[in-house]
Amino acid sequence: MKVSKAGAVAATLAVALTASGCAEDAKEPIAIGIKFDQPGIGFREQDGTFTGFDVDVATYVAKQLGYKANEIEFKQVFSSDRELLIQYNEVDFVAASYSISDKRKEKVDFAGPYFIAHQDLLVRADDASVTKAEDLNSKKLCSVTGSTSAEKVKALAPKASVMELEGYSECLVAVQDGSADAMTTDNSILAGYAARKENTGKFKLIGLSLSNENYGIGVKKGNKELQKKINAALTKMVTDGSWEAAVKKNFGPANYKYEPAPMVTSGN
């Protein structure tokens, strides 16, 4: 069949408009900063999937913001670079065992809190020499660069030497091989490591509450609209039962004694 020149032009234009429409309809993925090395909190499994409480919270929040699971891009953050990634728009928000503090609020805004943890110590299961923070005097404590946890222990054990490593997994190895005597961070994170199948019977938590850590979701300073939307999503997650389900799913195997869901107050 012969097609006229005008018809060919019209067909080409129609294709172009259709392609343009598809481009307009395509949604940019939402970039969320999480930890990749915190079992039970934020962890990248060997098959490339992500598990943990923060992952479930972030996925729920993203859904409330209008994003499907396949429209989420998880990006790895470390304790030392969370503020920078937010400030330079590398991520839309951060959900990475991110404790709300006045110092951090100078650089970012927080939604939440959505979880309360307490700082504790993890030691080798056969180590009876550390039962309290003060026992770390003249011993080696491992912490993560950018974390404030070591400072609290040093206040109680000023003679403790601190080993700062990039991630918690590295600290765990240091405790296991004896190059560190203890590792400190939030009990939720420590429980996640101790509960991993490959770590069964190797480690134990001391059971301390050296601090109250209110986990919040970090957003760019001044982005009150996003902060408000995330707060609404977190409140809904608690009221519809999804929060409780996520806690039990991620921490239940460790018999972790968790706090009830905190009231969302940031930004209000």
The pLDDT assigned to 268 comes to 57
The answer to whether the CB of 162 falls within 8 A of the CB of 154 is yes
Mean pLDDT of 62-85: 96
Contact 38, 192 (CB under 8 A): yes
The answer to whether residue 20 sits within a structural domain is: no
One domain for residues 228 and 106: yes
* 259 domain-assigned: no
Average pLDDT over residues 56-70: 97
Mark whether 72 and 140 lie in a shared domain: no
- The per-residue pLDDT for range 180-236, each reduced to its tens digit, is 999 999 999 898 888 888 888 899 999 899 989 999 999 999 999 999 999 999 999
Q: Is residue 23 part of a domain?
A: no
pLDDT at residue 33 above 60?
A: yes
Band of residue 249 on the pLDDT scale cut at 50, 70, 90: confident
Q: Tell me which residue of 27, 28, 77, 26 sits closest to 50, measured CA to CA.
A: 77
- pLDDT value of position 25: 54
pLDDT for 255: 66
Q: Is it the case that residue 240 has pLDDT exceeding 80?
A: yes
d(CA 122, CA 144): 14
* Same-domain check for residues 90 and 218: yes
User: Is there a contact between 213 and 259 (Cβ–Cβ < 8 Å)?
Assistant: no
| Sequence-ordered alpha helix ranges (H) in the chain | 5-25, 53-64, 82-87, 102-105, 149-156, 168-177, 187-195, 224-239, 242-251
pLDDT band at 266 (very low <50, low <70, confident <90, very high): confident
Contacts of 104 (CB under 8 A, 6+ apart): 83, 98, 110, 218
- Domain with 226 in it: what CATH number? 3.40.190.10
Q: What is the pLDDT of residue 20?
A: 44
pLDDT of residue 21: 47
Percent of the chain exceeding pLDDT 90 equals: 72
pLDDT of the residue at 79? 86
8-state DSSP, 67: -
Q: Which of 76, 75, 82, 77 is nearest to 101 (CA)?
A: 82
Burial pattern 147-169, b for ≥16 Cβ within 10 A else e, equals bbbbeebbeebeebebbebebbb
- Mean pLDDT is highest, among 8-12, 90-94, 192-196, for 90-94
CA 36, CA 168: separation in Å to the nearest integer? 10
Match 């991620």 to its residue by tokens: 250
Distance (Å, whole) CA 51 – CA 55: 6
Q: What is the pLDDT of residue 254?
A: 67
* Res. 10 pLDDT band, cuts 50 70 90: very low
Q: Which domain holds residue 74?
A: 30-117+213-254
**Residues 190, 236 share a domain:** no
pTM over 0.75: yes
Looking at the fold, whether 126 and 111 belong to one and the same domain comes out as no
Q: How confident is the model at residue 26 (pLDDT cuts 50, 70, 90)?
A: low
Q: Each residue of 150-191: pLDDT tens digit? A: 999 999 999 999 999 988 889 999 999 999 999 999 999 898
Confidence of residue 250 (pLDDT cuts 50, 70, 90): confident
Q: Are residues 170 and 188 in the same domain?
A: yes
Please give the pLDDT value at position 12: 46
Number of domains in the chain: 2
